[in-house]
Structures are given as structure tokens and as C-alpha cells.
Structure 1
Amino acid sequence: MFPEFTLCYSRLPERFYERFEPVPVREPHLVAFNRPLAEALGFDLAAFDAEEAAVWFAGNVVPRGAEPLAQAYAGHQFGGFVPRLGDGRAVLLGEVTDHDGRLRDIQLKGAGRTPFSRGGDGRSPLGPVLREYLVSEAMHAMGIPATRALAAVTTGERVMRGIPEPGAILTRVASSHIRVGTFQYFAARGDIEGVRELAGHVIERHYPELESKQGGERYLGLLEAVQARQAALIAKWMGVGFIHGVMNTDNTTISGETIDFGPCAFMEQYDPQMVFSSIDEGGRYAYSNQPWIAQWNLARLAETLLPLIDDDSDKAVERATEMLQRFPVQYEAEWLGVMRAKLGLEQPQPGDKALIEALLATMHRGRADFTLSFRQLAAAAENPEAEAALVALFERPEEIAGWLEEWRARLAQEALNESERAQRMRWVNPAFIPRNHRVQQALTAAMDENDFGPFETLLQVVTHPFDDQPGREEFTLPAEPTERVFRTFCGT
């Protein structure tokens, strides 16, 4: 059933990983399978059998050609450096080449205790597996680079997370699982050749346009390329009100994909200081901090590359610092592009940033729902009578009414007609997101009642985020006061 593996990471020196066979589980059962993704990866769906697939995706049988391993990495976690982290509950089976010719990692998450587990059990509860499945697929559907969910399997075993919970394993697909923390692992050991070899691997896999560069320019170019992707990624997060929750350097990918969906959430009521993670007590990874945390993480990457950028450490620091100082400008350009599109603006004007910031400030004071506000704005772009539904979202209706006058004056400078503008706005302003309370309801039904119907319905809804879905209007609504979920948790 599996496509042919094109092994890549396992050909690196053995200090990059620990070989590790997934630990078999008692009673694997397939509860979710992403057929379109499987087809794109080259799986033989004609030979698909759910019972057999459960055995594969649980790790009870290693697919032919796979060479399972746990990757080594380090990381700054909430600002504190941990020199040895690594895959504590995940195993990389290997890589496959998809139908577009791209290498994709296939990893089992929750596959048992590895040499990097640090006393953990190496397993995952069902809830975090289903959360990652829902949110990662929703992100992909919204056009935001993210790891993908291929399958979810229950194990027939319990894991202890305060109380016994049903166990599960997620099959995750990524462009790669290489992180800023992977570079830090070798740098922390003074292993400059390890950093060099890792950088060469990353360039070959993700940034082949840098292959022709020589010397320090090659590695400065790598920093520049990763920085550009991170600026674009975080701008997209901000555009949909996404809060990652654990933006540690070990959760910052070199490929520019969103990875690890533990204590993440989408904002409802707009608040730039919003935090959902149960472990982010100081608000380090609050919504408004995400761009600057990305820059901080990039600085940690730059530190690992300094010996490769220039033999003169002062010159290396100078060149890397100059590059990092460009990040705010790069990010703002990306963010303005995202937000202009959300407001229906095609031609940049000097006052656009002030107009955008005025809307966000009005949303904050008016305690308005982030997603609904922008979706209703798209309706108002086509039909002024739809403004009433938008204004009704705000506790201070007079403020948003005043802003709408400024917005319409700005739209008058654009060439698009109302219908085309509204359609373009609908393509970037989702109607459906994985709202916290809906996710929790789906997880609770699956964990407590073995009922996956709510999960399957929610998955179908959030993977068509921009479509009008008649009969599913309740999925667009924020939580009632008694349904609100203010804290989300990591599954480790």
C-alpha cells in the first residue's frame, strides 16, 4: 500500500538521529484517513484495506523500504535552552516523492518511547492527535503552509495524562521535520561540520537555488531564505487570528511550515494579547508577539551559522545582524499584503497601514469576533445593506460605522467592481475556522463516547473554509459564554 521510500535523512551521519523501531500497540484501529493526501503521495488506494492500514499507521509493521529513526534536535523552550530534545515520541519512517516531485517526510507521532523521550512514555492521547489532524488540515485548506495529517489510529491502550486517556498515533506528513533546534543541536556541541552538513542537506532539499553560491554567501543566503519564509508564514497566521502557543525554536521549521498543533487556537474576540496555551504563563507567545518571537528564533538560527558565514567572528556577526534587521520590514510587507487582501484593497496606498490598524483597534474596543468581522466585511463590500450585520458584532457600533466611511472612501480609489472585490475577499476571509469549543466538542465525543461523527463533520467543515455551506451556519458562530475554551494543552 505504501509508495516507494526515497530515503534521505537516514543517509546523513548517525549522530543526526537514533535508529528506532516503533513500539507495537495492542489493538490498532483506523479512525481517520486522508485519501486525497494519500493519493498525492502515491499510495495504492486500490489495495487499501482499513484493518491492514491500521497496522501500518500504528507502527506494528514497518513498511518495506522504510528506515525508522528519531531525529536529534535541541531548542529554546520559552526562552530557556535545552541542548538535547529530539523526537521523544515520533519516528520518521522515511521520505516519499509525491506526484509533484517533492520529497515528503512520513512520520508516526506517538509511536513509543525513543532514546530522546527523557522519561516520557512516548505516546499520545487521542485528543491531541485529533486536534492536530483538524487544525493542520484546516490550515492547509486556508493556504497556510503546514504539516499535514495522513491518518489517525487509536491504539486500544490508555496513556496517563493526569487521568487515563485513550491512546492514538498520528501519521504526519511534512516537507521535512528539520527545525532551528536541529541546527542548535550541533552548534551546542561545537560540531561545526555537523552544522555544515545539515545546512547542505537543507539547501539541497529546500533551497536548491543556493547551490551555486560559494563560501559564506551560501550560508547567509540560507538565513535570508528561511527568514523570508518565516515572515510570510507568520503574516498568514496573523491574518486568520491563529495563535501557535509554543513558538519554541524546536517548533520553528526550516521549510517555513507550521508544525506542532498542541496548545494552539484561533481567536474569537479580537485581543492582540490573547494567549491560549496553558503553559505560557507569561504571555511570551501571545498573538501580537508572534512576529517578534519569529525574529528572535531566527537570531538563534543565525548564531549557529556564524562560523560558516565568515571566519572572522566579528564580520560574521555584523553580516548576520544586518540580515536579521531586515525582518521587520519583510514581515510588515507580508502582513500588509495579507491585510490589504482581507480589506479588498488591490493597489497599495500610503494610508493603508493606518486604515488596517484603525479597524483592528476598533475590533478590540468593540470586542468583535475576528473571523466574523472580516467575513461580514466581504459581504458589505458587495452590498452596503450587509453593513448592519457587521455593525451588530461590535459593542461600539458608532466606531465601526465611522471606520466604514473611511473604508468606502478608500475603495473608491480601486478599479474592481463590487462583485469581483467581494469574491476576492471571500477567498481570503474564511467563514469557517476550527473554533475552540467545536474542536473540544469533537474531541470529547471521540474520547468519552467513541463517537467520531462530530470530528468527521467538523473536519469536512473546516477543510472548506471559504465556501458558503448552507445548513452549517452554526459552525461560523463564536462560543456561548458556557462553551468558551480559554486554555489548550500540549499532549506530551
Structure 2
Amino acid sequence: MAASPQAYRPERAILDLGEAFYDPVMAADFPETRLRFRNDRAARQVGLDGLNDAEWLAHFGRFEPLRGSLDQPLALRYHGHQFRVYNPDIGDGRGFLFAQLRDDRDRLMDLATKGSGQTPWSRFGDGRLTLKGGVREILATEMLEALGVETSRTFSLIETGEALERGDEPSPTRSAVMVRLSHGHIRIGTFQRLACHRDAENMQRLIAYVLRHYFNEEPGEDGAVRLLAHVVRGTAKLAASYMAAGFVHGVLNSDNINVTAESFDYGPWRFAPNWDPGFTAAYFDHAGLYAFGRQPEAIHWDAMQLAVSLRAVSEAEPLIAVLDDFGELYQPAVSGAILWRLGLRPRDPESDRAVVQAVERGLRGADASIDRFFFDAFGGKVPESYGPAFDDARAILAGYEPRSDRSHPYWQGQPCSMLIDEVEAIWSAIDQRDDWAPLEAKIVAIRDMGEALE
């Protein structure tokens, strides 16, 4: 392994929790391992960019242990509400925690998989991932990172040479194994499982683990309340960042909400073409439970399930008080996220709230493209071509100071979007011609946008 500016620092903290939280598993033995994507930018942050391709394939395709980290992969146990229906029969069914390590911010990070084979929680699934699913996750995570959303990052994608049958897309289809780099994989559903089993002892152990490793705090007598406060604050910010990005996750179940409030696990995601609160991502979300405009409500509901679980070790009143803060935390968070995307500095809560209201009214009234609007209005000036729907926004934005100018070359071109037609076109090039150039070019364009927005 070549020298790296960031040292590789392995961790094994998850073992402190004990065997009640996971099952040791083995990775599938794939027919082949063809490297399709390696995220060297993320690898640099954890000291793994010095791996050559053969070493990369050995670790992230055949899952040879990383030196000093976990000796064997662990399938994590959890429950969760799926579309508001409680399910005790879930857990890591096609993935596992492969390794833990420190990043360049001294955060405890996980390298976890998707499509790595069956586990005790697979039920009737094959434990595999379609190559298309992996490509879609690359596009989602790259776009969200560029748009300022705290997200897991797609670390590796390796094609595995199997033909998969799927009922909701053309089959047989190509297979892959993906590795994501994430700030933990402790979910709200992890706590729900312990509450369901009335396991107060392990609940306290999990609270201590999360507070120590993710929030640098000791648990104490009010550990459950402080943990909930961190989650409520973080998830309010997450919900706000989804709205500013125009993003629809699609499946905001409680097992898909990380207690570090980092977005992860992308299935039927979409970016909304315009500001339509009813826009949904999942074809099976018939009631619009996780529609664009309902995402703050959905995430708050999931945080409520954490509070319910924590009742096993805490009085109700302080937990309820923390939950009630969600709305007050969400408002400044969404104001800040919208202003950041507009390239403006916040002023005061009242004015910032007025900006959000005016921009939302304008986007809905003019039926304007979200990405085009934020591109054209970056710096605080809404072009006259957007018409009178944005008159209120123009008046309010005139009093704001830019935090960045339009000198980056990105602003001389066209806005970078990620709508479904382009996603399908990128996949079609891979599927029909094994042409990865459109995906590679899109990643470059997305990262260019991210630099311009910084």
C-alpha cells in the first residue's frame, strides 16, 4: 500500500456492543469481480487510496479483511416500521458491516455492503444487488454530496458476473456488489428491536455506544434524552436538506434512518423536476406517504418511533419535550439550506423564513425547474424571465449578501440535474453497449457543480 496523506486507522468499536447486535456471516463467492467504480476521493479521507486495483478487488469484491479491523463481516440486527407497518423480521439481508475505520475528521466510519450475499435476515431474498441498482446509488450519493446533503458515499462498485431475476425490471439483469462509506449504521430500527424485546440492558449499552462514538459524550442518567436530542436536531437538518436539493428518498422507513442523521440506502429515489409536494419516487407508494412535500413529516414520525423505543429506559415527559423541538429546528435548517443553494448569507430568522416562503411560492406558481431556478438565481438575482411569480422573492433577496460569486466555470454552462430520463440513459449505455463513459462524465459534472457551490 502506497503512502497516503491520511493514515489508515482501523477500528473495531462495534464489537463493544456484543453478540446480541449482529451475526457473523460470510460473503458470497462471486463468479467474477470486475472493478467498475472506485471512489478515490472518499478513499483518501480514510487512508485507503493507496490500494492498487488488485488489492481493492480483494478487499471489496472478495472481502478479505482489512488489516486491524473486523476479522469477519457482521450482519446487523434491527426491526423497523415499513410504510408505517411494524416489521420484526428484517435486518441486514443483503449486506453486512465489513470494516470500521477513522476518517480525516476523526469520525468513526463504517464500510458496509449491499449485494454481498445471503445472511440470516435474507428471508426469501437472494442477497444480491443489480448492477443498475449500484449505478443508481453512485448517481444519488454523488449528486446529494454536491448539493450539501449529509450522505453516505458510494465507495466501490464491482460487477460480479451473475444473472439476476427481478420482478420489477427486465430480467435476467447484471449483478454487482457495492460498498458504502458511512458515518455509522445504527438505525432507529436498531433501538426498536431492543424495545420490542424489552431488553433494557442492551438498550443502555446501545445508547452509550452511540453517544460515545458518534457524539463524543458519556451517557449519564439523561443519556436517552440527549441521544434523542441529537437525532431530532440531525434529522430536522436532513429533512431540510432534502427539500433544498429537490430530492425524494422514496423509502423513509425507520430502518432507513441513521441515528447520525446521515442519509443512506437509496432504492427508488428521484429528484423532483419542479416544486410539486405530491411528487413521489416509489411506484408502490400509492398513498404518497413519502412524497416530496411530506418528507419532513415522515422523518419526524420516524424520530417519534425512536422516542417510543427509548421509553424503555426513560420517562416520557423529557422525550416528548425534545420531539416538540423538531419544527423549530426544521425551519432555520430549511432556510439555511435554501440560502446556501442560492449562494447567500443568512440574515435573521424572519427574513430567512420569508425567503423560503417566497421561493416556494414562485417555484409552484411558475412551475419552474428546481435545478434551473437555483442555477439562474445563484447570487440572489432572479432573472426577469421567470415572470411575476417571483416578484416577492426578488424584493426579499435584494437585501441579501452573496457568500459566493459566479466566477467558477460551472456558472458559464448549464445546470447539472439528475432527472429520471438521464438516469435511464446512463444505465442504457452500460446495459446495451457496456459504455461507462456517460456515467464517468456525469460524475465529473456533478463534482464540478459541487465545487462551484462551495
Q: What TM-score, normalized by structure 2, do the two folds share?
A: 0.90
Q: Identify which range, 218-227 or 342-351, moves more after superposition.
A: 342-351
Separation in 2 of the partners of 1:84 and 1:191? Answer: 17
- 1:280-319 equivalences in 2 (<5 Å): 280-309=285-314, 316-319=315-318
Q: Judge conservation of contact 2:335–2:355 (CA < 8 Å) in 1.
A: no
- Aligned-pair CA distance for 1:342: 4.3
CA apart distance, 1:173: 0.7
1:123 aligns with 2:128: yes
Give the letter aligned to residue 442 of structure 1: I
Q: State which structure, 1 or 2, has the greater radius of gyration over its C-alpha atoms.
A: 1
Match of 1:409 among 395, 401, 406: 395
Counterpart-to-counterpart distance in 1, 2:49 and 2:421: 36
Residue of structure 2 in register with 1:196 after alignment = 204
- TM-aligned CA distance change 1:294 to 1:60, over 3 Å: closer
Post-superposition Cα deviations, 1:208-256, rounded to whole Å, max 9, x if no partner, equal 1x31x621x2210110011101111111111110111000000000011
Matched, 1:176 2:184: yes
Counterpart-to-counterpart distance in 1, 2:165 and 2:145: 31
User: What displacement does 1:466 show?
Assistant: 4.3
Query: 5 Å matches for 1:262-281?
Result: 262-281=267-286
Question: Which amino acid in structure 2 is aligned with residue 174 of structure 1?
Answer: S
Counterpart in 2 of 1:374?
374
**Separation (CA, whole Å) in 1 of partners of 2:320 and 2:19:** 32
- Aligned in 2, Cα 1:448/1:192: closer, same or farther, shift over 3 Å? farther
SS state of the match for residue 297, structure 1? helix
* Aligned counterpart, 2:86: 81
Q: Which residue of 1 aligns with 2:244?
A: 239
Residue pair 1:345, 1:411 contacting (<8 A) in 2 also: no
- Give a deviation string over 1:340-396, Cα, whole Å, max 9, x none: 444546322635534532432332232211111122122672xx8x433xx2xxxxx
Structure 1 counterpart of 2:324: 325
Matched, 1:387 2:352: no
CA distance in 1, matches of 2:273, 2:80: 30
Aligned-pair distance for 1:33? 0.7
Any gaps of 5 or more consecutive residues in structure 1? 310-315, 392-396, 470-492
The amino acid that maps onto 1:338 is A
CA RMSD of aligned residues (A): 2.5
Verify: 1:226 aligned to 2:231, yes or no.
yes
**Distance (Å, rounded) in 2 between the aligned partners of 1:198 and 1:118:** 26
Separation in structure 2 between the aligned mates of residue 214 and residue 60 of structure 1, nearest angstrom: 38
Residues 285 and 419 of structure 1, relative CA distance in 2, 3 Å threshold: closer
Q: Residues 416-435 of structure 1 correspond to what in structure 2 (within 5 A)?
A: 416=401, 431-435=415-419
Question: After superposition, where does 1:33-52 map in structure 2 within 5 Å?
Answer: 33-43=38-48, 45=50, 48=52, 50-52=53-55
SS at match of 2:213: helix
Partner letter of residue 281 of structure 1? H
Aligned to 1:133: 138
Unmatched tracts of structure 2, length 5 or more: 3-7
Which residue does the alignment assign to 1:101? 106
Note the C-alpha offset of 1:278: 1.6
CA contact (8 A) 1:376 1:387 kept: no
User: CA offsets, 1:383-427, max 9 Å, x none?
Assistant: x8x433xx2xxxxx3x32xx33x344334544x3x7956679x99
Whether the 8 Å CA contact 1:89–1:117 is kept in 2: the answer is yes
In the other structure, the counterpart of 1:353 is 353
State the number of aligned residues: 439
CA distance in 1, matches of 2:56, 2:231: 36
368 and 108 in structure 1: CA distance in 2 versus 1, 3 angstrom threshold: same
Find out whether 1:261 has 2:284 as its counterpart.
no
**1:132-171 aligned within 5 A:** 132-162=137-167, 163-171=171-179
